[in-house]
Amino acid sequence: MKYCTQCGSEYQDGVKQCADCPGSELVDAETMRQRHIPLPGEGDTRKFVRATTADDPFTAEDYARLLQVQHIPVFVRPRRAGTVDVLTTGTLEPWWEIMVGEEYLERATQLLAREKAELDATADDAARAAEEEERETEDTPPPAGTL
């Protein structure tokens, strides 16, 4: 199938030109997606797919904000790693899914990868700083009551 890049009408592969839009291009569904042109019937039923996950709500929020700034439709969906009640096991960590409009997945993935790298770099700095601080306070006896 091919689609008109102007009106979105569907055509057989053999057709060279849209009947309604003289001079417009007919392309396949893949190309339509790459150009962010909704296919027939897809316009209003936007599908959301998971772009990445976060281990804490702050990271999730940070990711969501990053994508919003880029005008990418996004929402955060809190999840748990399993269906067992967290109170009875005490081992299950909650996590967060970053959901984006399907047609923005590729762009969102790139942006998130970059953001993640920056966050990791910051975390490394923080870890280094903490280590240095630890070395400085190594000889300090632990506060009473911790033993």
Q: Closest approach of Cβ 33 to Zn ion, in Å?
A: 17
DSSP-assigned states of every residue in 27-85 = E-HHHHHHTTPPPTTTSSS--EEEEEEESSHHHHHHHHHHHHHTT--EEEEEEESSSS-
Q: For Zn ion, which is the closer residue by CB, 4 or 60?
A: 4
- Regarding 6 and contact with Zn ion (CB under 5 A), the answer is yes
Which of residues 1, 17, 20, 58 is near Zn ion by CB under 5 A? 20
Angle separating helix axes 57-69 and 105-136, nearest 10 degrees: 140
Q: Which stretch binds Zn ion (CB under 5 A): 7-15, 41-49, 83-91, 121-129?
A: 7-15
Closest by CA to 108, choosing from 54, 69, 72, is 72
Which of residues 10, 11, 21, 102 is near Zn ion by CB under 5 A? 21
The residue to which tokens 């909704």 are assigned: 38
Q: Closest approach of Cβ 9 to Zn ion, in Å?
A: 5
Q: Where do contacts with Zn ion occur on this chain (CB under 5 A)?
A: 4, 6-7, 9, 18, 20-21
